Amino acid sequence: MGQACGHALLCRSQPPSSEIRGQQVFLRPEESSALTRRQSTTLSDQLQDALLRLAAVVDAGSLRVALRDSVRELLPSTECVCVYMPEGYSRLLSEDPPHELPHEGKIRSVVDQLRRCQCVGLPASELPEKYRICLAAPLPAHRRAVVIPLLNQERDTAIAVLLVGCNPLSDHDELHLNVLEKHASVACSRVQALQTSYQRPPLSPSPIQSHNALLHLQVSDQDYCKLDRNILQLCGELFDLDAASLQLKVINYLQEQTHSQCCCLLLVSEDNHQLFCQVVGDKVLEEEISFPLMFGRFGQVVEKKKSITLQDISAEERRQLSSMLGCEISSMLCVPVASRATGQVVALACAFNKRAGQRHTEADEHAIQHCFCYTSTVLTSTLAFQKEQKLKVECQALLQVAKNLFTHLDDVSVLLQEIIVEARNLSDAEICSVFLLDRVSHELVAKVFDGGVVSDEEKEFRIPADQGIAGHVATTGQTLNIKDAYSHPLFYRGVDDSTGFKTRNILCFPIKDENNEVIGVAELVNKMNGPWFNRFDEDLATAFSIYCGISIAHSLLYKRVHEAQFRSHLANEMMMYHMKVSEEEVTKLLVTGIEPVKEIHPCFAEFTYTPRSLPDDTTPLCILSMFEDMGFINTYKIDMNTLARFCLMVKKGYRDPPYHNWMHAFSVSHFCYLLYKNLGLSNYLEEIEILALFVSCMCHDLDHRGTNNSFQVASQSVLAALYSSEGSVMERHHFAQAIAILNTHGCNIFDKFNRKDYTRMLDLIRDVILATDLAHHLRIFKDLQKMADDGYNRKNRNHRSMLLCLLMTSCDLSDQTKGWKTTRKIAELIYKEFFSQGDLEKAMGNRPSEMMDREKAYIPELQISFMEHIAMPIYKLLSELLPGATELYERVAANREQWTKVSHKFTIRGLPSNNSLDFLDQEYELLQSQGAFGSDDHCLNGCLDDAEGGRGQ
């Protein structure tokens, strides 16, 4: 971008080198498309696998492995991962190798801040010896140590810590780690909860002592000798891992001891809201029976821990029990069973119909309580194991669900249909509905139902996003479990009354994206295998909603990306249509044949010649003449029609800002030709490199908008969105436009190249165009100086690459090597462009830099600074490498001196009211008439104004 970029760099106050270094990223076109595919793969495969791996862990060991593998998968550059898990109140321990995180120090202080941090290394004294090589400070410039605390959101503390050695994190890595941390925290909390539930209770008194204390009875040990023998025999048989089989044995024992026709265990759910029964008498039920805890008097048994008999329940409750058991009840004894670990009631042991028509006695109650003093621990442990088995099955089901969901990302409607089916199957619900949140209309939209997809938009079901049960969940982001729909104030029963459907219970839960924003709501209606949805269903819904949120968000993103691609393709087609070169234009350009350069102007091949003096419509033919004179057409067998069409397309690809237009590109290309003719570039570079340099000069500012890189980023333009993460926004856009032209039918001047040369040519053009960002030039300036000091080696590929960059920069600034009138005119054009950008920045509410501000810019001072710090060092270095370039340095120095001499006449800020610096030429002509400057009028045409017949700008 030449002088514009140079001025922008000069106006910074000594920028840190990291600021420039961070922009040095170059991607080939195939690498760019590979990156897009790789990001898409990461979102749909790698991140998915990592989250699924975390969702499946149930113990600390597998959690450590899952965390380590997930980080390595998401950050391929990872060298090591050290996982610290909690032990006790404040200890954090790793197992491989065994090591405790110090309670004080840099790592602990970072952990206490509860946020991720990357640095250039950690204190070696705080690290295990195994990981010091990849984590201890100081690390190499391309490596970083990252401290990742995983948080317990409820307590706002770290429940695990990851130390990762990897490359510096990109924005893409940060995004993935944000998602991973949320799910890893949930997994850590789950494993911690499971570990707590399995902790062994403290030593307690003997079973008989506990039994006696519970009953407050004075019972001697001898009275239980027979019971002890029987219970020991029963305990010897309780080896089953299946809770139903274990209950069957205990129930048979109770039937024998109490002489009852039938016994059963009513298990209390974890949330203390339900009772459920799996075994009745000698039968294991195909589907467990469940009913509310407050059914009859059973709730009081759980609450007060006191037994009841048949006389304590009503006739209606008796009838319901008879229906449930399938037999008439004549007597009943219900005894609470308490956990020895917590003292909470975990089950109700019920005996029905004592033989011989008798009633149950206190001895029967003693026998039941005695039994469970020995067996309750085995029972609760087996139930917990069974729950874990069920959880494992559900996790596997969730994994399968996730895989099913992630295979339908290309169609939101099909994905929502899949979500409905999976949610209904997981929860055993009768009906499921899914609503998406329309933030524009603030409505919940249902387009997919159990019956299928509604294609007609008029039949979409829409409700306000703040009304009803679904609206409440969408607004609060909290799950709502309604056990009795008709008694809930938010439920509208009008639909049931009109359809005849009966809604018994509802589980409604939010679907959130990766940013924890609600994007939809799922509503499950009528639990099929229970009275209502329980706590397990809520947990399952929460886990399920995570996969739903990710899949829906990615599906919508996938849709937007496709739409953006279509829009981009359409816009590109439209742009190419307007840039299209007709056959008539190509024929007209070639009809007179290629004109020898001597016939264009006798001094056309001399450094003193100013190409801006040529009329605009003759410049494409001059480009062809330079191609011919440098031998490229014959050497690379370039088709003339293709070359002509390419030149005309490139010319049309330039907009018309004051400076960065086609005439600038033509001047830069002409200077490249001058370097070839006058400095013998063939002795320093390969022919293919010289061709790449010349084509890059033609294309280096394609589609320039008259604003610089900083403006693109500050205005958050489309170009910044595409390229800001890689740096050199405009330069990458110029290269992309050049590739677009080469890919246009009939414009590929390299179509005769073999695959190897074609790939190398595109790489060279990319590198050379990116070198026009003066930030890049300043990064490599020390290397260029060292190359000049050590001596240039043509066989050294790195030397040739650096020389190409230097030549491109010197071509870009070549207007400064011409006569004073050209330099002055160029300054006028540049500052017109600068001040236009400054006006835009002010309109945005930003403060432009001094050189962009027409009210503050003092042009002579800015020009002198630019020439002293940017232009003169470039041409000085060029003269050291190529001795024939000395005159170029001398001309730049002379122009710098002239700016100093005329500065006293410049008494204003910005440009004069007529936007012209012509008044400075009077001083120059006066000094020239006095012999202050040598005459070069015989070759110097200057920049002709429009009135003089030339384009001039």
Strand order in 480-482's β-sheet?
461-464, 443-446, 429-438, 518-527, 506-512, 480-482
287: alpha, beta or left? (left if phi > 0; alpha if psi -120 to 50): beta
Strand order in 98-100's β-sheet?
98-100, 91-95, 80-87, 157-166, 144-152, 117-119
**CA distances in angstroms from 748 to 128, 650, 687, 694, 715, listed in the order given:** 58, 12, 19, 15, 34
Contact 868, 896 (CB under 8 A): yes
Q: Which two tokens stand for residue 580?
A: 């299209």
Task: List CB contacts of 346: < 8 A, sequence separation 6 or more.
Answer: 267, 268, 337, 338, 339, 376, 379, 380, 383
Distance CA 575, CA 684 (A): 39
Distance CA 734, CA 744 (A): 16
> 621, 670, 624, 618: which is closest to 815 by C-alpha?
670
- Nearest 5°: CA angle at 631, between 630 and 635? 145
- Classified as helix, coil or strand, 858 is coil
State the catalytic residue, choosing from 183, 660, 704, 777. 660
Residue tagged 């970083």 (tokens)? 144
Annotated catalytic, 660?
Answer: yes
- Classified as helix, coil or strand, 266 is strand
Distance CA 25, CA 38 (A): 17
Contact 86, 192 (CB under 8 A): yes
576: alpha, beta or left? (left if phi > 0; alpha if psi -120 to 50): alpha
Contact 367, 230 (CB under 8 A): no
Which one-letter amino acid corresponds to residue 754?
N
Distance CA 369, CA 337 (A): 7
How far apart are the two ends of the chain, measured CA to CA in Å? 16
Count of Cβ atoms closer than 10 Å to residue 521 Cβ: 28
b/e sequence 182-213, b meaning 16+ C-beta within 10 Å: bbbbbbbbbbbebeeeeeeeeeeeebbeebbe
Contact 484, 505 (CB under 8 A): yes
**CA distances in angstroms from 256 to 329, 353, 376, listed in the order given:** 18, 12, 18
The strand pairing partners of 292, in sequence order, are 274
Distance CA 40, CA 34 (A): 10
Distance CA 538, CA 483 (A): 12
Residue tagged 């307007």 (tokens)? 578
Distance CA 895, CA 673 (A): 23
DSSP 207-255: HHHHHHHHHT----GGGGHHHHHHHHHHHHH---SSHHHHHHHHHHHHH
DSSP 478-524: --EEES-GGGSTT--THHHHHH------EEEEEEE-TTS-EEEEEEE
Distance CA 251, CA 264 (A): 6
CA atoms within 13 A on the CB side of 299: 10
Distance CA 187, CA 435 (A): 28
> 184, 175, 156: which is closest to 65 by C-alpha?
184
DSSP conformational letter for 466: T
* Residues involved in catalysis: 660
